[in-house]
Amino acid sequence: MALYVQKYGGTSVGTVDRIEAVADKVQRFKQQGHDIVVVVSAMSGETNRLIGLAKGIQDKPNAREMDVLVSTGEQVTIALLCMALDKRGLSARSYTGSQIKILTDSAHTKARIQDIEVTAMQADLQAGRVVVVAGFQGVDAEGNITTLGRGGSDTTGVALAAALKADECQIYTDVDGVYTTDPRVVQEARRLERITFEEMLEMASLGSKVLQIRAVEFAGKYKVPLRVLSSFEDGPGTLITIEDDSAVEKPVISGIAFNRDEAKLTVMGVPDVPGVASRILGPVSRANIEVDVIVQNVAADNTTDFTFTVHRNDYEATEQVLSQVAEELGAREVIGDNKIAKVSIVGVGMRSHAGVASKMFDALADENINIQMISTSEIKVSVVIAEKYLELAVRALHSAFDMDVNDSVSE
């Protein structure tokens, strides 16, 4: 008999029929004797509808009132789900973020959870009730409604699981788990049985957008076992957990992430003096452009080349900023390329395995793929290549690291 916090996203509760299906799933868990706390998002499309109404009035809607508005989306879902549970003879009770209460700071539209009151929920669970909580929302110390920002329902789920010391936080979504890479690119991609929080963070930030990154950080911090599974089909999903040292066989690489929305810019012939990096990136950041990979090589002839990548949509804006900066710095020229892609291999195993990077470079060289930039972390190696080679590169790496073989899945 376990306590599960189950989070169902917007697609999983997108229609009355799907809400009924969620109720069926919850009923099955209850019949097995488990205690269930459900966290739900707004029905898919609803949040956008509400934002549309607001934008019809103000381009940049008042943040406090925006939270009052969009928080109604999840409130509708909790009520409907409780009705569906009631219909099945299950005792259930809904709670808004204010009712629970999920105390946050006052940063409207992007609030952070500070505390969660568990007394009422525990009493409900004790009484055999299913507790249904509106995701994504909270209340500040003055009683104002707040929201955690897009995707915040995952965070609500993890925070509730941590506060209630749940056995597992289950995130139900429209995929059946975390894959070694995108199955649309590599047919042999396979679902991972488990993955560590750190690997998941690297995978998430690199474009495998299964889970909201803050929720994974939160789960890692509070050591809440997190499971990603499908709302629509049965299956064990992928367990995201702390590193399990007892595992005898551990694959070196867990997954391959990639991102094709990048563009690369280089300021050539920058004087090699302290403070240059910030004089280049400062104006970029002030233009609200986010920078991803940054590479600066050793200097030659007292000048150096400074390269970084940005989102492809920001390519032209960045070029403009840099042409100004280059002039001020007396740099030689600015060159760029917006037909690039980033490919990363991720795995905690590479910490203790030498040669992972060189194996990656070899695999790419075998396919005649030129590496334009390299950037590494403890558990990740990323390369930037020409976009046209992306699929080839991902498939080559998937095969080189023996990921096609389903050796770690023990269903």
| Least distance between a copy of itself and beta carbon 109 (Å) | 12
Binding mask 335-354 for a copy of itself (x = CB under 8 A): --------------------
Task: Give the residue, chosen from 18, 30, 93, 264, that forms a contact with a copy of itself under the rule CB under 8 A.
Answer: 93
Among 128, 46, 116, residue whose Cα is nearest residue 79: 46
Query: Could you give phi then psi for residue 201, rounded to 5 degrees?
Result: -60, -45
| Least distance between a copy of itself and beta carbon 143 (Å) | 6
Task: Name residues whose C-beta falls within 8 Å of residue 185's C-beta, 6 or more positions apart in sequence.
Answer: 258, 390, 391, 394, 395
Of 85 and 206, the one with the shorter C-beta distance to a copy of itself is: 85
Task: Give the residue, chosen from 22, 69, 166, 270, that forms a contact with a copy of itself under the rule CB under 8 A.
Answer: 69
Using CB under 8 A as the binding criterion, the count of chain residues that bind a copy of itself stands at 35
Task: Give the residue, chosen from 6, 12, 47, 71, that forms a contact with a copy of itself under the rule CB under 8 A.
Answer: 71
- CA-based end-to-end distance of the chain: 22
Among 118, 127, 65, residue whose Cα is nearest residue 92: 127
Only one of the segments 87-95, 207-215, 361-369, 403-411 lies at the binding site for a copy of itself (rule: CB under 8 A); that segment is: 87-95
Cross-strand partners of 36? 4
| Least distance between a copy of itself and beta carbon 94 (Å) | 5
Window 46 to 65, contacts with a copy of itself (CB under 8 A): 50, 53-54, 56-58, 61-62, 64-65
20 part of the interface to a copy of itself, by CB under 8 A: yes
| CA pair distance 155, 173, nearest whole angstrom | 14
Of 76 and 291, the one with the shorter C-beta distance to a copy of itself is: 76
Using DSSP bridges, classify how beta strands 3-8 and 168-173 pair: parallel, antiparallel or unpaired: parallel
For residue 349, the 8-state DSSP code is G
How far apart, in Å, are the Cα atoms of 255 and each of 154, 346, 363, 408, 410? 22, 5, 15, 13, 18
Using DSSP bridges, classify how beta strands 373-377 and 380-386 pair: parallel, antiparallel or unpaired: antiparallel
Q: Cβ–Cβ contacts within 10 Å for residue 371, how many?
A: 16
Of 38 and 346, the one with the shorter C-beta distance to a copy of itself is: 38
Window 115 to 154, contacts with a copy of itself (CB under 8 A): 143, 145
396 part of the interface to a copy of itself, by CB under 8 A: no
Catalog residues that contact a copy of itself under the rule CB under 8 A: 16, 19-20, 50, 53-54, 56-58, 61-62, 64-66, 68-69, 71-72, 75-76, 78-80, 82-84, 86-87, 93-94, 96, 98-99, 143, 145
